[in-house]
Amino acid sequence: MILIITIFVCVFVTVIYYFNVNKNYWKIRNVVQVNYAAWDFFLGKCSLPEVYRNIYNAYPNENYVGMFFNSKPVLVLKNLEDIRAVLKDSHCFHSRGYYVNDKEDLVDNLLLMNDYQRWKLVRQKITPVFTIKKLKSMSHSIYQCSDSLIDYIKDYQCEKNKSVYEKFNFVAIGSSIFGLDFITKNALQSPIVNALCKPLPFFHRCLFSLKLIISIQFPILLKVLNIKIFDDYKNLILEVIQKVSECRQETPGKRDDYIDMYMEIQNDESIQDASGYKVNIDQFVASQAFSFFVAGVETTASAVDYTLLELANNKHILQKVHKEIDGIFHEYKELNYNNVESMEYLDKILSEALRKYPPIGSMQRIATEDAILPSNFKVNKGIYVIIPIYALHMDAKYFEEPDKFDPDRFSSDNINKIKKYTYLPFSEGNRICIGAKYARLHMKIMLAVLAV
């Protein structure tokens, strides 16, 4: 009994200490400090980008505001020079600060990698997948898949729009980037798509959320307890990549896609970890593939969903873009890279939707070393800094009447008036989204098909 009480007291004291150790962290550094702001997010009252926006708006004259994510000090940046410095600094702010279990295969990707030298190596290997030449080929695959999207919507009208768009994104990304044979009438009903899109049961959702919290607050436990966040998808992703590769080896000719890149580097000795150890190429390529799905499926579905919502609420904009899209179909009969890129008004609509509803509403970086910001504030090693994208996009200083949906903000006359680092739908700097051009092409094809 005494042992149990002793353990309880030790745990209680540890918890109290943990949540109070940094209690006045920002105050003693003469930074405006906001306490308990993150609880609105934890309690489900609002999203994390909305938390940051509320803080951003509450202190209009500050360059930065200090807050806490539980006990961790977090600095919300407002000064554009500070934001520029953080996004472009490959020395002190290259890490996104996501801690994962190194033994988990699918986390060895561009999204989660913290080793900057290794990240640069991987980025160099993957960048050629998204050249203009290859995007032109991808546009054909995306458009061919769109027939299955229209058929599915007709057959399953009761399903939520966003869910349908996510399934299409799996199909289009799988076909255009990974060479999966999804160009069929029932592509959205494919077993692979259903397996990847299947909602997690309540218990698994709670367990997944718990793992994420542990990765942020107690990253050491990931290794001690060997917790793997994404392991449920490992075998499926590996199986898909290996099957497509085997099929490609039996079929002569090149498609210049991700699988061709995979086949080229299978015997490449340059894919190594920081210690020089040669990594498993199958697992390496599968982890990059997984990151494309994670980064591209839900985000593009949300962007398309919000864009169509705005078109439905702004009939004059809808009529104008209808005319542009109808003109393209009348002249070319089908969509390709060149005619999609020629639709200037559709491009402005998408840009404005990404401003008002950024798929990624905030970004974080962690200081890997002590750093001095341009505003002359010292950020200590291990401190998180936040770029509040949603708050910047909705700041009336940078975008007049920010709640108004106005595609003409991005006209040729106005786009150069937008201040650098106030519009960040795909980030900026060294870790700008590698698939940004593909994402815009993908979404514009979706919108052109759905809006007619």
Q: List, for residues 281-298, the tens digit of each pLDDT value.
A: 667 777 777 788 878 888
pLDDT (0 to 100) of residue 196: 66
C-alpha radius of gyration, the chain, whole number: 23
pLDDT (0 to 100) of residue 345: 97
**pLDDT (mean) for 79-107:** 84
- In whole angstroms, what is the distance from residue 121 CA to residue 40 CA? 39
108-358+431-451 — its CATH code?
1.10.630.10
Q: List, for residues 36-87, the tens digit of each pLDDT value.
A: 887 788 777 888 999 999 999 999 999 999 999 878 899 999 999 999 999 9
Q: Which runs of E-coded beta strand occur in 350-436?
A: 363-366, 371-372, 378-379, 384-387
Whose structure tokens read 């076909």?
A: 175
Pairing of strands 72-77, 64-69: antiparallel
Pairing of strands 384-387, 72-77: parallel
- In whole angstroms, what is the distance from residue 169 CA to residue 290 CA? 13
- In whole angstroms, what is the distance from residue 31 CA to residue 87 CA? 22
Record the tokens describing residue 154, joined without a space: 């007709």
Domain definitions of the chain by residue range: 1-92+360-424, 108-358+431-451
pLDDT (0 to 100) of residue 195: 66
Task: Decide if 145 contacts 187 (C-beta within 8 A).
Answer: yes
pLDDT (0 to 100) of residue 14: 52
> 433 among the known binding-site residues?
yes
pLDDT above 70 for 142: yes
Q: List, for residues 228-260, the tens digit of each pLDDT value.
A: 777 767 667 777 777 777 676 666 666 667 777
Task: Decide if 416 contacts 106 (C-beta within 8 A).
Answer: no
1-92+360-424 — its CATH code?
3.30.43.20
For a pLDDT cut of 70, what percent of the chain falls above it?
80
